[in-house]
Amino acid sequence: MSRLKIVAVSGSPTAPSRTTALVDDVARSLAEQVDGEAQLIELAPLLGQLAQGVWRTELGAAAQAALDEVEQADVLVVGSPAYRASYTGLFKLFFDHIGQYALVDKPILLTATGGSDRHALLVEHQMRPLFGFFQSHTLPLGIFASEGDFENYRVTSDDLRARIDLSIRRALPFIRASAADRDALAVGARPDAF
Ligand SMILES: Cc1cc2nc3c(=O)[nH]c(=O)nc-3n(C[C@H](O)[C@H](O)[C@H](O)COP(=O)(O)O)c2cc1C
């Protein structure tokens, strides 16, 4: 059974970034619990390349490589800062280039950060429907963090740490089932064939 490939995607256009700190922290914590490998993709440096054209073949090599990594991931941890009560344009631009059926059944843990808790429901009202379009398995408990949960662009609040732990705990049964299904497919036998 190969290690799970967990890819974190940060949709912040700035660096350093609280969103980057959050998705990286969540992906690493998850990797520890499932014997996976965590990888971080920051979209900020890819903005110019992602805006180069509407077709994927028109984009620069780094943007294309990031899109490939996301499509090949076993699990995604995605995050965006709240901009005007939604995810950033950069976050949407990146996922506009993802194949329509490339994320079908993929487990995705949703996260976001904001200046306060006022727009916490963007996880449920904006992010979850986007990945519903992709027919992904969005995981049950999303994570929203506000600026007060971070110091020096690191997760520092005990409350946020507890929410991360709970979100991962709630996600584990789905991720394990998805991994078992993947491994069964790899050896040519679906679990439901028995
Ligand atoms: C253009 C812009 C719009 C923003 N709009 C919101 C908003 O609607 N709601 C909110 O809670 N925070 C808003 N913020 C604050 C950011 O979401 C917040 O600082 C976030 O943690 C920044 O994440 P980052 O460090 O990953 O870039 C906005 C910030 C900017 C620059």
Sequence-ordered list of residues with C-beta below 8 angstroms from that of 179, at least 6 positions apart, any chain: 1, 4, 34, 74
Averaged pLDDT of the chain: 95
pLDDT tops 50 at residue 11: yes
* Domain parsing of the chain, residue ranges: 5-188
pLDDT computed for residue 1 by the predictor: 66
Q: What is the pLDDT of residue 194?
A: 40
The CA distance from 191 to 117, in Å, is 42
Tell me the CATH number for domain 5-188.
3.40.50.360
Mean pLDDT for the stretch of residues 103-126: 98
pLDDT at 68 over 80: yes
Higher-pLDDT residue of 167 and 181 is: 167
* Distance between Cα 173 and ligand 1 center (Å): 32
C-alpha of residue 34 to centroid of ligand 1, in Å: 32
Assess whether the C-beta atom of 152 lies below 6 angstroms from ligand 1. no
Q: Is the pLDDT of residue 86 over 70?
A: yes
Q: Is 85 in the pocket of ligand 1 (CB under 6 A)?
A: yes
**pTM higher than the cut 0.75:** yes
At 193 the pLDDT is: 44
Q: Which three-class secondary structure string do you get for 55-91?
A: CHHHCCHHHHHHHHHHHHCCEEEEEEECECCECCHHH
Residue 38 pLDDT: 98
pLDDT band per the 50, 70, 90 thresholds, residue 25: very high
Is the CB of 18 inside a 6 Å radius of any atom of ligand 1? yes
- Rounded CA gap, 167 and 127, in Å? 16
Rounded CA gap, 111 and 23, in Å?
7
